[in-house]
Amino acid sequence: MQRSDATSGLTHLPPDSPVRRQDFLLGVATAAFQIEGASNTDGRLPSIWDTFCRAPGKVLNGDNGDVACRHYEKWAEDVELIAGLGVDAYRLSVAWPRVMHADGRKNDKGLDFYKRLLDRLREKGLDTYVTLYHWDLPQHLEDRGGWLNRETSYRFADYADLLSRELAGRVTAWSTLNEPWCSAFLGYGNGHHAPGLSSTRYATQALHHLLLGHGLALPALQVNDPAARRGIVANVGAASPASPTPEDREAARLFEVQHNAWILDALFKRQYPDDLFRLWPGSEPLVLDGDMDVIGRPMDYLGINYYFRVHVKSDGAHGYTEVRAEGVERTQMDWEVHPDSLRRLLIGFKRDYPGLPPIYITENGCACDDRIEDGRVRDPQRLSYIDRHLSAVDGAMREGVDVRGYFIWSLMDNFEWAFGYERRFGIVHVDYDTQQRTLKDSALAIRDFLAARTP
């Protein structure tokens, strides 16, 4: 067996860290649009990302998801790859356009793909964490307003009902949504992601309908698949003031209101933060009676995705502006590496949201400009990144935060949304011409770490 002789492994964790125990779940993650390909196969419908990729200038190099990593064809090989790493779990998403026809009927061919995949994963002893929505809204729903249309929340609940009936017993834990902040703000607020609209008023309304869909889906998941846990995945942001002035400290606080409290207050306090509308005057969404009670329905866990910290200063009015810090470590995405912000945020969430359910870090990882040299991919920055963030999780757990697991983003290099195939997050290298998968040094070190865990 090839071992990670060029790395020192995960060295920042104390020997007694709970992260080193077998009861702390460690997994890898992907998303359907980013790896599956086969965009016109077996009745799959177009999604908003198929449309967005074909709009000139929206995706780097004009890349699209038509082929991606050919996971739809190579799924059995990929399951062997995952199992060979020794991880406990695999987090994946289902492509809504692959499993439902436009009239709401199920697409058996698409469903059969996920049934085979999930069955094989369970045969390999892997827990399955399944996300219902990882950004690939069927285009026919966007044509009727997408997440700006309240009706989409109800169509999402129908989809959740169908999928949880069809896949019942195959799923360890369901996530309703992945990163609703990104779907709402990047998709409808600044146009960086599909469907490419730009209005803060659109962003707040889309976010409300996303969260409403989440709440509407929870009862069906409970009834149809009662043994599976139910939750949602939120991306969170960390800010540091550019100076110690009160104005810049307030700017950093407002950044975290916009990135974190916007979602978490709705889920756990059943209200949107008033400060959000100081940032975006006049952007209040239309909220009907009872909506917040639906959104605030109890969950079994909360997924947290964290990647980087930003520096901000006051804009001199009612908000903030980001500034570039010099002399800091950055990834291929130009994101600052700051593991301690993850620890700080987790401790703050425990403080601010009494009754918070158990947390899983559902995404954390690092994009690097990885290349195969002499049959090997050396990625020391990625391994160091994962090591230090696991140490940050350990620090939060020692402060009483109930963190149950951690998923690396991602299993393999894939379609990185607006950045196409240039940015590589995988611990497994993908040659997009040959579809050859190659374990990077980080994957080898993680495999060794997992094999050495204590009971």
pLDDT digits (tens, 9 = 90+) for 269-283: 999 999 999 999 999
pLDDT above 80: residue 326 = yes
Q: Answer yes or no: are the C-beta atoms of 331 and 273 closer than 8 Å.
A: no
pLDDT of 2: 44
pLDDT digits (tens, 9 = 90+) for 165-185: 999 999 999 999 999 999 999
Lowest mean per-residue pLDDT among 9-13, 155-159, 446-450: 9-13
Rounded average pLDDT over 352-361: 97
pLDDT of 10: 84
pLDDT of 318: 82
Catalytic residue among 142, 256, 363, 416: 363
Which residues are registered as beta bridge partners of 26?
Answer: 406
Q: How far is 300 from 419, CA to CA, in rounded Å?
A: 33
Residue 225: inside a domain: yes
Q: Which two tokens stand for residue 150?
A: 């309240």
Catalytic residue among 36, 142, 179, 336: 179
The rounded mean pLDDT for the chain is 97
Residue 270: inside a domain: yes
Cα dihedral sign, 398-399-405-410: negative
CATH of the domain at 68: 3.20.20.80
pLDDT level of residue 407 (50, 70, 90 thresholds): very high
Omega into 240 within 30° of 0, i.e. cis?
A: no
Residue 132: inside a domain: yes
pLDDT of 4: 42
pLDDT above 60: residue 83 = yes
Q: How far is 379 from 367, CA to CA, in rounded Å?
A: 10
Which residues are registered as beta bridge partners of 313?
Answer: 321
pLDDT digits (tens, 9 = 90+) for 88-141: 999 999 999 999 999 999 999 999 999 999 999 999 999 999 999 999 999 999
More confident residue, 455 or 411: 411
For the chain, the domain total comes to: 1
* CA R_g for the chain: 21
pLDDT above 70: residue 8 = no
Residue 75: inside a domain: yes
Q: Answer yes or no: are the C-beta atoms of 156 and 216 closer than 8 Å.
A: yes
Residue 306: inside a domain: yes
Residue 6: inside a domain: no
pLDDT of 5: 42
pLDDT digits (tens, 9 = 90+) for 51-82: 999 999 999 999 999 999 999 999 999 999 99
Domain range for 336 is 18-451
Q: How far is 310 from 322, CA to CA, in rounded Å?
A: 7
pLDDT above 90: residue 379 = yes
Residue 157: inside a domain: yes
pLDDT level of residue 212 (50, 70, 90 thresholds): very high
Examine the residue annotation and report whether 179 is marked as an active-site residue of this protein: yes
